[in-house]
Amino acid sequence: MRRPLVTVISALGLSVLLTVPAGAATAAPTPDTTDFTIVTEEPAPDPGGTPSFGLDDRKAHQGLPKESAQDMEERMTASRTLQTLKKEGKTPSSLAERKGPEGSPEAPALRRTDPNINVCMENRKTYRTYGWTIDHFFHCQGTTQTLYKQKCRWLIGCYPIGSFRFRATTIGEGYEGQRRIYYGTLLDKSDVKGDVSGLKLRHSIACANLSGSPRCTSEPGNGRTDTLSEWMRDSTGSYHWFNSAHAGDGPDKRAYYNITQRFTGIQGGRHKSVTTGRGGFRCDSASYIPGRSSACVFDVVVPVMSSIGIRDREVRQTARNIRDAQFRPERTKPVYRAKEVPGAPSSGQALTRNYYDKAMQKRSGDRVRATCERYWPGYASRGLQCDEYPFASTYQSAGAQPAHQNYAAKAIPAEDNRKGGEQIAEFYKLDRILDSDAFYVHIRS
């Protein structure tokens, strides 16, 4: 009778008992030799579902996972933190670029103490198969892997004699002013058991262009191959930069890409790999984003505008009009009993930016001004302006055809209306909202 695997290992004098998952014990390739394998720890299923990374769904902003109110609140909080760090010059890519001469990085300056990577590490959503996209400029992705060294004996087969278990966390950052994207990966929670001598680990990220997109170019120095002891000693991880030519679909020259990560175990001249994680980004050359004529962003997400609040004195009336439209439409003008106004995160009905349809924008202005004149006659002579929601710069505005009444118009102080418009323009700029891009509007209490 063949003895159980644990008995065999014990008989061979293994001092550390290893848990053997599926795939770690295999048939012996040759008598009395060593082998290795790498096993991915499967993430827990996500109730929101898996997003689609197909080209058609990406263009239409469809196939995104469902998000709860708490999910969106977590994204907004993380986005504010990372955008603040960005203003302070503490983003992963800016720290990495400082390491090398003339902007060429020598090594990734990504450490466990950096606040940016901790934003990713502190949220379990990072470790889903497709990661956690926070906004257009930041994406998190993580996985847990175990590299096993095996002893192979004739008739017995291969069994593990050592293991290297680790967590890998990646933070991605979009670029402004360049069609470029950055990914920095950090290994932590490493655990070594038994004999892992002679093994190396390689980390790499592959970028694939979708149909009709220009090629995604991997920049020199991407990835890292090292001994396990060096991975543990030097905790700065690995990095990847990709760039794209100024070409693509439509006037904005949009190009779409998918990425996957690969972890490769190496022993001598042999290699064994696992591919894990999925993500996507988009590059464009839209000329109408002020000061940022090109960029690459993470497009598999619906950004949330949260810069306007009820307590902000400068935009208080703008905020109230939006909140009433979203949650108390019966209070708004024009009066319409069946009114449903999109845009709130809880509605599940996003707004989409309208940059190119100027005729729709004009119709929207004409209709809302007529509404304001109807309910607030002579409002303009009293220093008021007509505020509208959904914004005139969206395809859900009052200018949409056929004509509808699912909007809110209100005469408010001109300065309040002007400041509200500035906040909208700033959001479009900072989160790079292109024509037809979806977004939500959240009014802070």
Short-list 219, 163, 153, 225, CA closest to 193: 163
In this structure, the number of other CB atoms found within 10 A of the CB of residue 78 comes to 20
pLDDT value, residue 94: 66
CB 320 within 8 A of CB 310: yes
Across 285-323, b (16+ Cβ under 10 Å) vs e yields bbeebeebebbbbbbbbbbbbbbbeeebebbbbbbbbbb
pLDDT value, residue 27: 56
pLDDT value, residue 358: 98
pLDDT value, residue 88: 84
Short-list 117, 112, 264, CA closest to 182: 117
Residue 322: enclosing H or E segment and its boundaries? Answer: helix 316-327
Task: Name 408's bridge partners.
Answer: 389
pLDDT value, residue 102: 41
Short-list 154, 129, 153, CA closest to 142: 129
* Token digits of residue 370: 């007529």
pLDDT value, residue 12: 39
Across 34-57, b (16+ Cβ under 10 Å) vs e yields bbbbbbbeebeebeeeebbbbbee
pLDDT value, residue 29: 55
pLDDT value, residue 43: 80
pLDDT value, residue 299: 96
Residue ranges of the chain whose pLDDT lies below 50: 1-17, 100-108
Give every CB contact of residue 157 below 8 A, 6+ residues apart in sequence: 25, 26, 27, 28
What is the C-alpha to C-alpha distance for residues 325 and 390, in angstroms, rounded to an integer? 9
CA atoms within 13 A on the CB side of 153: 9
